[in-house]
Amino acid sequence: MRTVTNIYKIRMKLLYVKNQNWSEQQTLLDPYITQCKKVIDLQDYTSAEASLCLPSDKKIVSDVMAMVDKKKTSNLRYIIVVGIGGSNLGSKAIYDALYGSTDQFMPERYPKMIFLDTIDAKTYKALFAFLMKNVIKEDEFLISIISKSGGTTESLVNAEILLSDIKKSFSQWKKRCVIITDTNSKLWIEGKRLGIDILDIPKKVGGRYSIFSAVGLFPLAVAGVDIQSLMKGAETMRNNCTLHSNENISRISAIFQYVYLQKGRTTHTSFYFHPELESLGKWYRQLTGESVGKEKKGITPLVSMGSVDHHSMVQLYFGGPPDKTTEIIYSTKTEDYPIPKDSLFPSLSTTEGKNTSEVMSAIQKGTVSAYKLQNEPYFEIVLDGINEYELGSYMQYKMMEIMYLAHLMQINAFDQPQVELYKIETKKILSKKDI
Amino acid sequence: MRTVTNIYKIRMKLLYVKNQNWSEQQTLLDPYITQCKKVIDLQDYTSAEASLCLPSDKKIVSDVMAMVDKKKTSNLRYIIVVGIGGSNLGSKAIYDALYGSTDQFMPERYPKMIFLDTIDAKTYKALFAFLMKNVIKEDEFLISIISKSGGTTESLVNAEILLSDIKKSFSQWKKRCVIITDTNSKLWIEGKRLGIDILDIPKKVGGRYSIFSAVGLFPLAVAGVDIQSLMKGAETMRNNCTLHSNENISRISAIFQYVYLQKGRTTHTSFYFHPELESLGKWYRQLTGESVGKEKKGITPLVSMGSVDHHSMVQLYFGGPPDKTTEIIYSTKTEDYPIPKDSLFPSLSTTEGKNTSEVMSAIQKGTVSAYKLQNEPYFEIVLDGINEYELGSYMQYKMMEIMYLAHLMQINAFDQPQVELYKIETKKILSKKDI
């Protein structure tokens, strides 16, 4: 585990944006930044920005670790996370960044996380047959049922189906479950009644801001993720992002997106250069989509993966309408592999004897050069490795960026009123049928 | 395998668009549709629309099947597809729709496809250790190296690294490779020199339109996909989509996107309701991005997955700016699973005793109702199952839609000039370094 004196942090390369004069937007935003700082200083969990209190909340970490100690066993193979949206996107982002992207080739690396989000019969059939074969003892699995409201249809259906299957083989199944929900939600009450262990979520921390609550911390810690380092990264970033200076990259990024939105840049591309970060992009997609997509305003978030999307979306990015801003995210420290010196296809080779990191770095730098030459608005985020500390930093930076962006757009970053639209219609249809 | 008298086909539900008067756009488009029909009638492989000839090209199928007979063995476990962009997105779309989405839970279902697209050391390390353990005999693997130009950096690096590893253990490795490229490309020449088997790609068929050439057909057929049925679906759809009537859903969909683009709807969401179709969305993303994203024009393609994105992007779709059109894609025939009658959480349950397909169908119908109520432009595509025939139909419909859309936008659907921008910059950086 890293120590508290760790000095690594995310850098923002500002080549493109450094000469901009954003004093007007800074003036608009700075009082809100001060207000956020006050929430942190007072650890004010009653405010809309309550999630800002999480990174330095020692009690949450100790509650989570106590539950981990109770549930984690040396035999643990599978942590099944039942949750959707804010209940699983954050933990999936971190798990995939650290382990998930190569899980298919490492069947014997344990523990693994399995995510059940939407309702899908094909998945159940394959999963239950798999568990039947690979889980022999009770302490080889753990089920985490996560729903802030306690009433999410998909998660309840998944929990009912999964548990009805698990119950058949494991009499002590309740001991292998942890429910994570709001205190006194219906699910909380049902869990108490059944004697299932429960972790709660601070009332004012919404799903998409909940990664540093038990929602993210418990399943990740059980999976072996260093949550102390994750929180340390988040805390350091949080403190930088309450400054009224260019140390505050959430402020820069929020103003950047806001200024260009006024100029018709309605789409923001997060362009990641490591395949294991795709789920991180999907987490940010929800954060943007739900936080600033309302009142007919909004920014459409795109996730692009280098270099797969160089052969897919890059033509549009450079040739299409000037309606996008871009953030290029990469780590300077990655695994490396030598490209053979003796090429099989000598007439074709331009990379023999190099390392893979050099080639990917050249593609990434070539991409940045192209953005620069095209005069497309972009900035770079440089991670110092793909690890808990950097991921915690990045996610905290993004959550504060979105709060600040919503403030500039004069939008409530914390509600999602239009989600009810399809839910009402769905409930009408479900209640019509009596089967 | 299905017979040629198969009458299933994709239906388009046009509730929202049925009362539109699009005669002006039809008049603009119909001469081009006639021109496309002529390409098909003459099997004119010299035209830009050459890919339209593929679905009825018996020779391509027989060439592919001859190679499959030569290479496929009963021991085959892993088909490693080395390719990126148009060289793998189509085959990945079909493989994932049929098998890939549950591969993690079915480690012993063979043969499996493994896709190597971008350059990633972490993936190599895990993959090579995995192959070392799971591939004992030469006939347990097959490598398909796919690059239309023969000069794609990522695919050459992946091929060099993979083969240098494979060579160490398998002396007859060349027999376990098939190269798929343009006749006389440098890779073609190198392949011939080495004695590796080669399948070629018709010169005028570009990567993103190449799924029904050897690019898609060979690896899929080896993996057990019924390519005859796939082609039959494509051919039936192709013939419908040369009509000047509402049987031609490519025409409707192209005009729909074009008309709304004029009204500022610059983003198109493909909203799939089955998790196994996400890769199909990524295939369509390239098709749109590269085909119509140029000359400062373009439509930004979004892929959304129901119901995961109901908890992520739907707030933006219903609450954000009116800049999107939406296509809702689902199958009426899916696997099903019963939701237990005796609920564990009785105070919460609204779905006990129902089937999962009913719940997902209610969410899908609820979503459609919400689009209707919001007066958001959308249409529905109804698949009659997720199988080769329907996937072939859907992909052919999409390729013709994009050709028609590009024609209406007065854009060349077949080039991708701006992709060179980053390539030039990348090459400059790579050639600077002498390591």
Residue type, A100: G
% residues pLDDT > 90 (chain B): 92
Residues forming a β-bridge with B363: none
Three-state DSSP class for A44? Answer: coil
B274 touches chain A (CB under 8 A): yes
A202 pLDDT higher than 90: yes
Evaluate whether B158 touches B81 at the Cβ level (below 8 Å): no
- Report in angstroms the alpha-carbon separations of A135 from A18, A40, A77, A166, B101: 55, 44, 8, 10, 21
Q: What is the pLDDT of residue B434?
A: 47
Q: Which two tokens stand for residue A224?
A: 């072996």
What does the pLDDT average to over A209-224?
98
Contacts of A105 (CB under 8 A, 6+ apart): B123, B126, B127, B129, B130
Q: What is the pLDDT of residue A12?
A: 76
Lowest average pLDDT, out of A345-354, B147-156, B304-313, goes to A345-354
Evaluate whether B380 touches B368 at the Cβ level (below 8 Å): yes
B375 exposure class (CB count in 10 Å sphere: 0-12, 13-18, 19+): exposed
Q: CA-CA distance, B126 to B120, in Å (whole number)?
A: 10
Kindly indicate the confidence band of residue B246, based on its pLDDT and cuts at 50, 70 and 90.
confident
Q: CA-CA distance, B99 to B105, in Å (whole number)?
A: 11
Touching B: A residues 119-148, CB under 8 Å: 119-127, 129-130
- Concatenating the DSSP letter of every residue in A147-205 gives -SSS--HHHHHHHHHHHHHHHHH-TTGGGGEEEEEETT-HHHHHHHHHT-EEEEE-TT-
Q: What is the pLDDT of residue A80?
A: 98
Distance of CA B329 to the CA centre of its chain: 14
Residues forming a β-bridge with A81: A115, A144
| Mean pLDDT over each residue of chain A, to the nearest integer | 94
- Report in angstroms the alpha-carbon separations of B206 from B67, B202, B406: 22, 9, 15
How far B283 CA lies from chain A's nearest CA (Å)?
A: 8
% residues pLDDT > 90 (chain A): 92
Do the chains contact at B425 and A159, CB–CB below 8 Å? no
Do the chains contact at A348 and B104, CB–CB below 8 Å? no
Handedness of CA A386, B87, B255, B11 (dihedral sign): negative
B277 touches chain A (CB under 8 A): no
- Concatenating the DSSP letter of every residue in B107-153 gives TT-SSEEEEE-S--HHHHHHHHHHHHHH--SGGGEEEEEE-SSS--H
What does the pLDDT average to over A304-317?
98
Q: CA-CA distance, B147 to A14, in Å (whole number)?
A: 36
A124 pLDDT higher than 50: yes
How far A345 CA lies from chain B's nearest CA (Å)?
A: 6
Please list every residue in chain A whose beta carbon sits closer than 8 Å to the beta carbon of residue B294. Answer: 315-316, 319-320
Q: Which two tokens stand for residue B350?
A: 């609204």
Q: What is the pLDDT of residue B10?
A: 65
Q: What is the pLDDT of residue B51?
A: 98
Please list every residue in chain B whose beta carbon sits closer than 8 Å to the beta carbon of residue A337. Answer: 121, 124-125, 161
Please list every residue in chain B whose beta carbon sits closer than 8 Å to the beta carbon of residue A104. Answer: 103-104
Evaluate whether B332 touches B387 at the Cβ level (below 8 Å): no
Assess: ipTM above 0.85: yes
Q: CA-CA distance, B39 to B33, in Å (whole number)?
A: 10
> What is the residue whose two structure tokens read 């920005």?
A49
> What is the residue whose two structure tokens read 């895990």?
B126
Q: What is the pLDDT of residue B384?
A: 92
Contacts of A215 (CB under 8 A, 6+ apart): A83, A86, A87, A90, A91, A146, A148, A180, A201, A207
Contacts of A32 (CB under 8 A, 6+ apart): A403, A404, A407
Residue type, A425: E
- Residues A406-433 have pLDDT tens digits of 999 999 999 999 999 999 999 999 887 5
Q: What is the pLDDT of residue A247?
A: 87
A354 touches chain B (CB under 8 A): yes
**Rg over CA atoms, chain B:** 23
- Residues A320-343 have pLDDT tens digits of 999 999 999 999 999 999 999 999
Ordered structural domains, chain A, with CATH:
11-40+230-409 (3.40.50.10490), 44-225 (3.40.50.10490)
Q: What is the pLDDT of residue A16?
A: 66
What does the pLDDT average to over B393-422?
97
B2 pLDDT higher than 50: no
H-state helical runs in B72-113: 89-98
What does the pLDDT average to over A248-259?
95
Identify which of B296, B373, B426 has the shortest CB distance to residue A366.
B426
Q: What is the pTM of this model?
A: 0.97
Evaluate whether B101 touches B398 at the Cβ level (below 8 Å): no
Please list every residue in chain A whose beta carbon sits closer than 8 Å to the beta carbon of residue B321. Answer: 266, 296-298
DSSP one-letter code for A118: S
Handedness of CA B381, B383, B387, B392 (dihedral sign): negative
What does the pLDDT average to over A295-310?
98
Kindly indicate the confidence band of residue B15, based on its pLDDT and cuts at 50, 70 and 90.
low
Evaluate whether A374 touches A366 at the Cβ level (below 8 Å): no
B5 pLDDT higher than 50: no
Q: What is the pLDDT of residue A10?
A: 64
